Amino acid sequence: MNSMNSGPETTNSPPATAAPATANNTVAATATVITNIASLVTNDPSLGWGSPRSSTFESGGGSPLGLIQDAAVVIEGDRIAWIGETSKAPATDNRVDAGGRAVIPGFVDSHSHLVFAGDRTAEFNARMSGQPYAAGGIRTTVAATRAATDEALEANLTRYLREALRQGTTTFETKSGYGLTVEDEARALRIAAAHTDEVTYLGAHIVSPDYADDPAGYVDLVTGPMLDACAPYARWIDVFCEKGAFDGDQARAILTAGKARGLHPRIHANQLTYGPGVQLAVELDAASADHCTHLTQQDVDALASGDTVATLLPGAEFSTRAEWPDARRLLDAGVTVALSTDCNPGSSFTSSVPFCIALAVRDMGMTPDEALWSATAGGAAALRRTDIGRLTPGARADLALLDAPSHVHLAYRPGVPLVSAVWRRGERVA
């Protein structure tokens, strides 16, 4: 049987035959070791390329990925306990033979909108027949979401989470933004918070239809009673800063109010048009400016000067038939770039990070190594996390086994379901 086509082989070796762990690689016998990994992405350049253990794998020098060839990983509890070459791996009770396939960190999808109900097939169909995308389509999902029960919203959320997990996503951020009343926004966040720590309050997605004639009144609601009800469930606050949604002054007021309540800003910026969002993000030390499709040189310079990550969401450009964000320009300027799905029923109805990687490589000027880094370590940076997005001792044991010898295949074989096993917090989950 060709192991490239099969699932990983798991064996439980009897303790009597297990070799004792050496002083350098002591791990509990109950740990799991994954061996025979053709190419392991650690995202720590000091562990792979450039170090004595360096690999000359086809990606070559200069890679940020810290690749180790013929590698092994030891998982103990919910953490990575050891990484190195298979020949030096400590013995453990549980052994998984990767059979010459690649292992990567689980994807960190730092931008999604998964608490929603309903469907916008007709809008997509019209768009693919020539209609432009506009922020107003969000209202359709708001109406459906308000009408849905808590159970229906949660069932929909878990459906897309399972779908994402099967495709290698082990951490996801998700937002409110389809409720736009105090009760409906708080409910969305409460449901999201049961499934992830990375929850974002997006009461400022669009001006609620109930406030169509009073946008200032809606900003007062978002920064007042709605913020009070939502802050307990959220880590982040977000605004859609765009024509048809919120302008720079409104966005500043909303993010500043959130900061005062202990929420950290992130922002939908410069998606459909040029605008103030990116520079505001840097000014407020937002963790991330998301979309970044229309950027002036000042926007790029601002991103390069601060700690704000540029999160690119090519699923949105794909599904709205829009111009691609220029990842190459940002990377060449020294900006930290993340790559995420923006999964939502309007502008980007994909939960697939591999699909976004393929688009970023084909159409946005990213190398396969850069795209993989951005979808893992980049996503972690956009969430200001250092415990995920990397496979180094002490990091969370979130990883994916690919049915391919290298991560390059994620772009080389677009549309093919290459993720063949997933561990999250050390547990085999898919």
Site for Fe ion in 315-344 (CB under 5 A): 342
Query: What are the counts of helices (DSSP H) followed by strands (DSSP E) for the chain?
Result: 15, 18
Q: Which of 247, 314, 302, 304 is nearest to 276 (CA)?
A: 247
Closer to ligand NIG by Cβ: residue 189 or 421: 189
The verdict on 342 binding ligand NIG (CB under 6 A) reads yes
The verdict on 242 binding Fe ion (CB under 5 A) reads no
Gap between the Cα atoms of 360 and 339, Å rounded:
8
* Least distance in angstroms from the C-beta of 246 to ligand NIG: 11
Binding letters toward ligand NIG, positions 227-246, x by CB under 6 A: -------------x------
Residue 31 in contact with residue 92, Cβ under 8 Å?
Answer: yes
Task: Give the one entry of Fe ion, ligand NIG, none that residue 69 binds, where binding means its C-beta sits below a cut-off of 5 to 8 angstroms depending on kind.
Answer: none
Residue 391 in contact with residue 103, Cβ under 8 Å?
Answer: yes
The verdict on 288 binding ligand NIG (CB under 6 A) reads no
β-sheet bridge partners, residue 236: 200, 264
Residue 337 in contact with residue 374, Cβ under 8 Å?
Answer: yes
Site for Fe ion in 168-227 (CB under 5 A): none
* Least distance in angstroms from the C-beta of 349 to Fe ion: 12
Closer to ligand NIG by Cβ: residue 113 or 187: 113
DSSP string, 147-172: HS-HHHHHHHHHHHHHHHHHTTEEEE
Q: How far is CA 225 from CA 228, 384, 407, 415, in A?
A: 5, 28, 47, 44
Binding letters toward ligand NIG, positions 93-122, x by CB under 6 A: --------------------x---------
Structure tokens at 161: 């989470």
Q: How far is CA 24 from CA 15, 27, 49, 128, in A?
A: 20, 9, 21, 58
Site for Fe ion in 342-371 (CB under 5 A): 342
Q: Which stretch binds ligand NIG (CB under 6 A): 87-95, 133-141, 251-259, 357-365?
A: 133-141
Closer to ligand NIG by Cβ: residue 279 or 344: 344
Task: Give the one entry of Fe ion, ligand NIG, none that residue 35 binds, where binding means its C-beta sits below a cut-off of 5 to 8 angstroms depending on kind.
Answer: none
The verdict on 347 binding ligand NIG (CB under 6 A) reads yes
End-to-end CA distance of the chain: 22
Q: Which of 344, 352, 367, 376 binds ligand NIG (CB under 6 A)?
A: 344
Beta strands in 135-259 (DSSP E): 169-172, 174-175, 199-204, 236-241
Binding letters toward ligand NIG, positions 290-329, x by CB under 6 A: --------------------------x-------------
The verdict on 32 binding ligand NIG (CB under 6 A) reads no
- What is the CB neighbour count within 10 angstroms for residue 9? 14
Binding residues for Fe ion, rule: CB under 5 A, are 342
Binding residues for ligand NIG, rule: CB under 6 A, are 113, 137-138, 141, 240, 268, 271, 316, 342, 344-348
